[in-house]
Structure 1
Amino acid sequence: MKSLIIYCLLSLSLWATATFTPVASIEINGTAKDMVLHGDRLVIATDMGHIEIYDITKREKIKEIGIPDVKDFMGDMIPARVMSTDMIDNTYLLLSDSGKGGYSNLHLYDGNLTQVLSADDKEAIIKARFIDKNHILFGYLSNEVALFDLRTKKEVYRVQLSESKFSDFALNEERTQAVFSCESGVLSVVETKTGKVLKELEGQNVDNVYRVDFKHGMVSAAGQDRRGALYDVATGKGSYIQGDFLIYATALSPLADKVAFAMDEKNNISIYNTSSKSKTALLKGQKSTLNVIIFKDETHLYSASDDSTVMVWELKK
């Protein structure tokens, strides 16, 4: 009987920290800089001047959308680095480096490529996401948030969140709220329609927060201080999981039952139960520093690194 109990405990322990390797991979032309998932379409931004769209059900590339090359500081023509991408309906967003003074280019593609902003507009935008088909949310290097109206080509508002340098933002499922991170470790929850700061989440990270996610009323934060933080937005209360290395990426599952953090220097992805903070899985096989992790559902994930391979994961034995 004693041996049976020990065997059962060992079995549970092994399952609690199950190790997984990728079930598939997607090879892209360039290095992945950003990635979004909408329905069955995975959209990957690259540093080679284009985005690649994949049908994750058929596991095949649907389309590749390119933008014009830009001049570097030496005057040579090079591919534009696409820093941020998104899609709504059949319209794709490509935010890229203009090659001039740190300013950004913004293109939209709906069958035709249209340039919305150029270096002449002198906007240092780091990240952009659709709020609806007529509005785009901007995150500025200066840690300002702005809402851009595509019909008027003007900003509805621009709000300075803090004096700290911007790092990342993430939208909730309805795109009504966004959480912004910066180098101070303080997170700002913003109403996307008005720019009003609804709440500040603090106390768990004490340094730069590289990435955030926002699902089901919960926020996860990947910190330079080796802390993977979790906050309940309604209460403002939080906690953190201690990592072994700088934490560059994070993602919450759709129900926020699971959280993923890049917790170690080997680029492994650790999966935790958000309620118990217990580690349930370790994903091994990432080759370089993680940029983006996305949960499709509670058992399927995608991850992109500073390389040309997007990993596909399945949390099933």
Structure 2
Amino acid sequence: MEFGICLHSKIDDIDLVVRAENLGFDAAWFADSQMLWSDCYSCMALAADRTTRIKLGTGVSVVDTRVAPVTAHSIATINVLAPGRTFLGVGNGFTAWRLMARKPARLVEFEAFLDTTRRLLRGEEAPFTHGGKTTDVAFQMAELGFVNVIDPVPIHVSAFGPKGQALAGAYGDGLIAAVPPQRSAVERCLANAAGGAAGAGREFDEDSFQLTTLTAMAVLEPGEDLTSDRVVEQCGPMAVMGLHYAYERFRQFGVDPTPHLRSVWDDYVALVEQSPEAERHYRIHAGHGTYLHPDEVQFATPELIEAACIVGQADQLVEKISELEAAGLDQLMVLPSFASRYRAAEEIGSLIKRSG
């Protein structure tokens, strides 16, 4: 199993990446949401200069907040600094678009973005559609070293539904999902990706295709449980983020929440809908993945934490990680709260050593 750390991209917090590399983490994923954190590519450039082994990439870049040629150009620039250890995570924009009161990219736009980006990162000419017009585009002076399209940049597609996961198989080298810590969920994600690859006429090699799950983790101390203040601080933002996502789906598509959210759903909806509609996009994502909004602490229940996070005593976690790896999960991308990020990195570093 590989271990990645997902960072709240912060331009003056590169020490965390350096520490993660020293602790044995395999990857650092830099979050890209322009209304929340620092610019992810600026952070990656600094991290590339201060590290030598850890893989660096976006967690995740967002469809059309930067158009496909700009995204390809940005990550290919990082690839000059960290050749062979640069990757691109791509998603359709859960917060990046929502916090500007806009809807994420449609599936057809997502697919076109992936196709253009993938071709450009291979040094090819690619079709680019913008403003209703399609033209072919290509990097013009890559041979002078302004960008690096020689060393491969793997593309990891972030998708939680079957159609998006099929795009990962059709265009990507990996899939990022919020996979519950269960074998059946891992197998379902891989089946969706394999179906997408088959539909695109691509060979699907489960050994080389990387499945990554976004989660939070905590190693319980003796006598500690999921109600402890430390666990709630470390894992609560990730757990409650599921409510943010579910409410947006409910709001846009009328989709009911998943079963583990139903016990708190009515209270959460009542809280969010106290905000005027014109300001609600701020309220829905308050503290998003970074800290628990004071009004949302009540929703960080053991049930929500257990469903979204991997928590247990060290021996239990090693066993659970082994089970997920055997099912086909390749990497745990861990997003702790901002306040607990260094402590969480140390905890997971100890698990990395125990897991071999």
Higher fraction of strand = 1
TM-score by length of 1: 0.30
TM-score w.r.t. length of structure 2: 0.28
